[in-house]
A and B are shown apart, each in its own frame.
Chain A
Amino acid sequence: MKAAIIVFLGTNCEVETKRALEFCGFEAEYVNFDANNLDNYDAVFLSGGFSYGDYVRSGRLAKFTPVISALRKYIDKKRGVTVGICNGFQILCEAHILKGALVENDCSRFVCKNVPLELSFNGEKRNISLPVAHKEGKYICFEDVNDYKFLKYIDNPNGSMYDVAGLYDNNKRVMGLMPHPERAVFTKNFGYDGKEIFKIIREEVKRG
């Protein structure tokens, strides 16, 4: 299973995302923001960081890069699964690939800690814990997105509407999440639940 990790100027979680993906059985490589074809990949990851300094708004400026145009085609032809983590989720929302928008946390501060979450997949629900690390992670949407939610905060750290921590698009081929699964793979202090997320992504890819 081949995964692309897109690197924008200012992306900073690409290394651990690659490490975690490889650990979870993906073949992963970096793809620069100027790439214009993603068809080689079964999955495309937009990893965390501060793309283009998060100037104007978090994730705002990345949407004008060639790779995002390529990503739109990739999604349109249902080639594979797209996953946006943290800044990647912000980028997907700013590009209107996912519904809603992410704004500053209610506490107005950066929040870095492990949070309890409810993961729903194939009609099953279970509780997991993943690290979050963001300042603009409050999800806002003025339409009902409950059906698209796969990850929900149990103890909402940022004021997100519907407790949204992770969200699908209409076709379940695009996923965006604020928590960092790639940080919860290697050690008990951050937990191992990141593996659960990558397992789901694998299954989504397989489902085609």
Chain B
Amino acid sequence: MERFFVKAIVTFKNEVKDNCASALNKMLKTLEIEDSASFSTGRFYTFFVSAADLSNASEKINYICKEILSNPVVEKYEILSIEALK
């Protein structure tokens, strides 16, 4: 068994309005910091998994992201990195 360190983010799909992002865009504009900031927000996760190899690990990680961390109806996820630990 190997240990893997995972970083993943979950964000809204493009069709879903991101309230917090809209508020931030508006604020930056009002403060005259940035006219088109185009924020998007999401949830950032780090966690460890144990698996025989990288391909097993990535299967497990995808399952976790899809079934537990996000709702595919409105959200998408992205696995930012998988780091094998020694």
User: Which residues of A approach B to under 8 Å, CB–CB?
Assistant: 56-57, 60-61, 64, 93-94, 96, 100-101, 103-106, 108, 140-142, 159
Number of interface residues of B (CB under 8 A): 15
Mark the stretch among B17-25, B26-34, B46-54, B55-63 that contacts chain A: B17-25
B85 contacts the other chain (CB 8 A): no
Q: Are A104 and B73 in contact (CB under 8 A)?
A: no
Q: Are A94 and B71 in contact (CB under 8 A)?
A: yes
Complex: chain B residue closest to A64, CB-CB: B68
For B75, list chain A residues within 8 Å (CB).
57
User: Which residues of B approach A to under 8 Å, CB–CB?
Assistant: 12, 15-17, 19-20, 23, 43, 68-71, 73-75
Instruction: Please list 19 pairs of residues, one from A and one from B, whose beta carbons are closer than 8 Å in the complex, sorted by A's number.
Output: A56-B69, A57-B71, A57-B75, A60-B71, A61-B68, A93-B73, A101-B71, A101-B74, A104-B19, A105-B19, A106-B17, A106-B19, A108-B19, A108-B23, A140-B16, A140-B73, A140-B74, A142-B73, A159-B17
Given A96-B73, A103-B16, A140-B16: 17 more A-B contacts, CB < 8 Å: A56-B43, A57-B71, A57-B75, A60-B68, A60-B71, A61-B68, A93-B73, A94-B71, A101-B74, A103-B12, A105-B19, A106-B19, A108-B19, A108-B20, A108-B23, A142-B73, A159-B17
